[in-house]
Structures are given as C-alpha cells and as structure tokens.
Amino acid sequence: MKVSNVLPNVGSVLSVRGSVVDVRFDGRLPPIHSVLRTGDDKQIVIEVQTQRDAHHVRGIALTPTQGLARGMAVEDTGGPLQAPVGKTILSRMFDVFGNAIDREGALSDVEWRSVHRSPPPLARRSTKSEIFETGIKVIDVLMPLERGGKAGLFGGAGVGKTVLLTEMIHNMIGHHDGVSIFCGIGERCREGEELYRDMKAAGVLPNMVMVFGQMNEPPGSRFRVGHAALTMAEYFRDDEHRDVLLLVDNIFRFIQAGMEVSGLMGQMPSRLGYQPTMGTELAGLEERIANTDTGAITSIQAVYVPADDFTDPAAVHTFAHLSASIVLSRKRASEGLFPAIDPLQSSSRMATPGIVGERHYALAQEVRQTLAQYAELKDIIAMLGLEQLSPVDRQVVARARRLERFLTQPFFTTEQFTNLKGKLVSLKDALDGCERILSDEFKDTPESAFYMIGKIDEAKKTAAPEQPAKKVDGKPAAAAKPDSIPEATAVAHES
C-alpha cells in the first residue's frame, strides 16, 4: 500500500481535535485524499481533506486517535487509500484498509488500486435497458430490476431483508455466473458475524466478497468503505468481464458518515443538518454503479428512511438514483407470506411496455389491480363476511388470495429452517402462473395448494387428490347434498 520514495515526506502533528488532525509539512505538501500514517508502528491512518496553506493540511483519521500527540512524526505514504483486487479476494472478509478480518490467513497475489475512481464515461456505458432476473416471482413480475441498475430495499428488523439479500446472492452465483459483493456501512458487528456464518452455511461464500465498516469505527472509515467495495466490484466487471451483484447495507449510514465528516471539518451544515456536499458525495458513489460494454454492476441497497419521512433530504437524494424500490411489509411477514414484499407499495421504472413487453406489462397491471381491489374489500369481509359480497367481488377475492399465495416462494437459503426445497422460477413461468390464475383456470383448486410452490403446475400436485364421489340413490353425493360444501371458507382466514 505504501509507495516507496527515495526520501520519505515527513511532517509533524500540529493539533488533534477528535478525528480531525492538522499536520505541518516543511517540504512537499501532500495532495487531497493522500493517506498519512503516524503513531506507534504507524497504525494511525489519516486522509487529507483540505490544504490550509503552503505548509499545513487538515485530515480525518480513519482509525481511533488514542495516543496521538502534538509533535509526533507523520509520514506521507505518497498515494490515496487503496483496496486489494484479484481472484484471491473471493470468499474473504475485509475492512476499509483491505485487511482480511476473517482469520483465514494473509492475502496473496493481489493488486492494490485507489478507492477514488471516476465513473465509466458515457461512451462505455450500455444504453440498452435489460431486465436482471432474480428467480424470485414477485420481484420479476411486479418490480423487475435493471441489469446495471440500483434497487432500494426498504424494511425494518425481522421482516426478511437479509434473507432476501442472501437468496439473491445464491441465485446470482448459481445461475448467472456472477460475483457478489456485500458492503456493510455502519453495520453492527453482530449482523456482520451472523451474515458471514449464514453465507458460509448456504454455500455461497466461494463467489463472494464481504467488506465491513462497522458502526463503532470512526466516521472517516465508514465514509470510505463503500468506495473500497466499489473498487473491488469494478475489477470483476472491467478486468474479469463478469456481472457483479453489489449489496449495500445501509446507504443512509454512508450519508450519515459524510455528515459527521463534514461537521468535524467545520463546514456550514445545510438543510436538517446534512452536509452541503451530500448530493455530490452520493452521486460520486452511485454513478460508479453502471452497466458497461464489459459487464454490469447491479446494486441492491438497503435504505433507512428517517422517521418514515420520504421528504427527508437523504431519502430524496437516494431516490433520484434508484431504478426500483422494494418495500417489505411487517403485516405480510406476520401472515407468513414470504418474501414479505408489499406489491402495492413497491415499484420499478423498468415496468413499462417498451422494456418488459406488452404482455408482461398488462399482466403486472392486472395483478396489481386485483390485489388493490382485494385490499379495499378486506374491511367489508371483516365486518359482514364474504357472503355479503357480489359474485363479481367474490371472484376478485378468490383470484387475489390465490395470487398472494402463488407469489410466495421457498428459498434455497432457508431450506435448513423450513425443510422446503428452494425454488428458482423463471420469468416466463411466473407470468404464465399469474395469467392462468387471473383466467380462473384454478378456481376449483384450494388456496393452500398455491402456498410456497415454484411453477403453477405444482399447485395441482400439492392439491389433495379428489376422492371418487359416492353415489346416493344413483346420484353423486354432491348433487344429493348441495349445502354440504362450506360456502365461505375464506372468511375464517380473514377473521
């Protein structure tokens, strides 16, 4: 990481205020973003943020500054913060400095590259809009993701956010010959450790890289960990020509870290205390996620919305970069409808006839309309019962309940917990299933047959085989006793 010089450029610490360190250099002044090292064994790392005059720079410490004192020698490494790239970084876990933190030994045969890289020029970007198939029915049908695009994942704790991310990693590696990179910005150490263990158990670690800037680390470290992960992703896209799935958790923590750095540097805060450069900093990170002529980086980012206020500057600036938003619902999770994605609140810019095609667009609109009508009828069903609805409304309810259950799916990464074999469903099969449900082909099939299946044909297999009808006085039993079939089976579910 250190660039060798004939004579090292050495300065001295002038002042230390928390993470802000002023350094004096009598010789060459280090450029912006240069990395300086000081302290015992040169363990304290400082990134230059501003040049105050001909001899003084001000930087932010990327490590704790305990033990740092005025007058200590500071060495200019001669270059910016760097991240390791190469085939050997797969299946490893790193911190912002590129140090392996998984206790699996030292790295070998890697190249170090600057984390400060420019977005790909327009001439290299792909202008074709392509769908990124995830193999998850509800996402592919209602909120298709863009290859080389950015999707926001909105959800609280315990609604299946990590499980959904893990499943996407599994499908990406197993069926797209791609690489997955998980970037934890401001992650709790518990979350990182659990995720590492889950990935290892699910068998997806060999084609995955994990980069963490933990919650207890200084803001400078959390602010740069996203750039380090993107540098690794760009290597696999540009050098290995592979598609990359970049998972960021949580993009709001990146903005928050930038706000802390800005405040420490003494910049005048903008609206609601955010840094005045928030738009530029977020764009500098997001614009590097792109689809080029050699490959694509597709990003799924967890987004925290402060106080559920979607007009918050952090949410507004993030939304401008997203091509799809996936909203997880605690209510659906409590009903056992996994993945617990709310189909009415989630949306995608790709869901247009020109991109997904006329048939897909029309089907998705009809599915949304059916589910929206069912949501409006739920109050009436709860108060008066299903039998008070008109025959047309009853058909809508029957279709919607079958659609809700058909859009559930068993995941490969939860097989060990549910004992249900994971299913990967192609977009063609998912659309075919929705179309056949909407055409009332399965109106006599029980709702439970659609729960946690893959293709629609599995509903016939899981439905209980019909018993041969007994005859009463030479007529079928059903004809002899028409009242024996309960009419409002769904009412019990609703109440």
Catalytic annotation, residues: 161, 187-188
Give the separation between CA 49 and CA 47, rounded to whole angstroms.
6
Tokens standing for residue 285: 């990170």
Q: Please return the burial class of 429, using the count of CB atoms within 10 Å of its CB with bins 0-12, 13-18 and 19+.
A: middle
* Cβ–Cβ under 8 Å, residues 59 and 49: yes
- The residue behind tokens 């540009």 is 238
Parallel, antiparallel or unpaired: strands 324-327 and 347-348: antiparallel
DSSP state of 160: S
Half-sphere exposure at residue 463, Cβ-oriented, CA atoms within 13 angstroms: 16
Whole-angstrom Cα distance, residue 194 to residue 99? 20
Maximum alpha-carbon separation in the chain: 110
The H-or-E segment that residue 279 falls in is helix 278-286
Strands 34-38 and 44-51: antiparallel
Query: CB under 8 Å to 320, separation ≥6 — which residues?
Result: none
Number of neighbouring beta carbons within 10 Å of residue 24:
17
- On the CB side of 223, how many CA atoms lie within 13 Å of its CA? 24
CA dihedral 78, 79, 81, 87 (to 10 degrees): -120
The radius of gyration of the chain from alpha carbons, rounded to an integer in Å, stands at 27
DSSP of 346-411, one letter per residue? Answer: -EETT-SHHHH-HHHHHHHHHHHHHHHHHHHHHHHHHHH-GGGS-HHHHHHHHHHHHHHHHT----
Counts for the chain of helices (H) and strands (E), in that order: 16, 20
In whole angstroms, what is the distance from residue 336 CA to residue 389 CA? Answer: 26
Q: Which residues have a Cβ under 8 Å from the Cβ of 342 and sit 6 or more positions away?
A: 327, 328, 329, 332
Place of tokens 């760097």: 82
Amino acid code (one letter) for 78: G
Alpha-carbon span 264 to 49, nearest angstrom: 11
